Amino acid sequence: MNYPSRLIEEAVNAFSRFPGIGRKSALRLTLYLLRQPGEESQQLAKAISDLRSKVVYCSSCHNISDEPVCRICASKTRDKGTICVVADLRDVIAIENTGQYTGVYHVLGGLIAPMEGVSPDQLKIQSLLDRVASGEVKEILLALSATMEGDTTGFYISKKLAGQPVRISTIARGIAIGGELEYADELTLGRSILNRVPFGG
């Protein structure tokens, strides 16, 4: 594509690096910015540069945070005896939105996948073991994707924790709330039958 201005071309190049943004969308965003008051671009630029320069990771759970210790870890009302292990920040947000969890988190930063070059030492697994070794933790709740990588990561962590006086649990897998039984995939349905629970319990 030929652009009338080198400045536009540079902006398009920058935007099109974002996931899910092609060159046409990038051009639309660029033209949108040009039509807006100048302050808006200033604010956007500041937000982006602050994001990169000021963001820190919680020293305890590795969640993205504004402070050295994140709000969840610093909270007095959260139960420090339960750690929910998740792959990344999006999972923390999803679980927080449920309003059902009162413990703290541990963000691994991904799942074990040797083929994609992700080995256990690239994830925050050792620091999880250190947190457990400090003695305060009673339960580890694995909230990982129901994929092979999620399973491997879960097995790996439980192997590393063997012998520690800590309970290891995993989130239940089964039929979605409000889901029609006939549309459930067979694997999920089969597993739900194998792992059935007492009614009302």
Partner 1 sequence: MYLRRLQLNNFRNAVSRDYVFEAPVVALTGRNGAGKTNVLDALHYICLTRSYFNSQDQQLIRFGEDYFNLTAQIEDEGEEYKVFCAYQPGNKKVVKLNGQDYPRLADHIGRFPVVMIAPTDLNLIHEGSDERRRFIDMLLSQTDRDYLLALMKYNKLLLQRNTLLKSWAQERKLDKALLEVLDEQLAPLNRLIYTRRAALLDQFNPVFEELHLEICQGHEKAGIQYESGFHQGDAATLMRQGVQADLEAGRSLTGVHRDDFVFTINGQPVKKFGSQGQQKSFIIALKLAQSDFLGMLTGKAPFLLLDDVFEKLDPQRVASLLQLVGQERFGQILLTDTDRGRVEAIFRHTGAEVQYIGVSS
Judge contact between 112 and 156, C-beta under 8 A: yes
Q: How far is the CB of 158 from partner 1 (least distance, A)?
A: 9
* CB-nearer residue toward partner 1: 117 or 198: 117
Q: How far is the CB of 114 from partner 1 (least distance, A)?
A: 4
* DSSP structure string for 135-162: S---EEEE---SSHHHHHHHHHHHHHTT
Measured between alpha carbons, how far is 192 from 196 in angstroms, rounded to an integer? 6
* CB-nearer residue toward partner 1: 117 or 201: 117
Measured between alpha carbons, how far is 12 from 28 in angstroms, rounded to an integer? 9
* CB-nearer residue toward partner 1: 93 or 187: 187
Q: Bin 104: left if φ > 0, else alpha if -120 < ψ < 50, else beta.
A: beta
Q: How far is the CB of 25 from partner 1 (least distance, A)?
A: 19
Measured between alpha carbons, how far is 56 from 64 in angstroms, rounded to an integer? 6
CA nearest 106: which of 132, 85, 130? 85
* CB-nearer residue toward partner 1: 127 or 152: 152
* CB-nearer residue toward partner 1: 96 or 116: 116
Q: How far is the CB of 157 from partner 1 (least distance, A)?
A: 9
Q: How far is the CB of 184 from partner 1 (least distance, A)?
A: 13
Q: Which residues bind partner 1 (CB under 8 A)?
A: 112-115, 119-121, 148, 151-152, 155-156, 159-160, 186-187
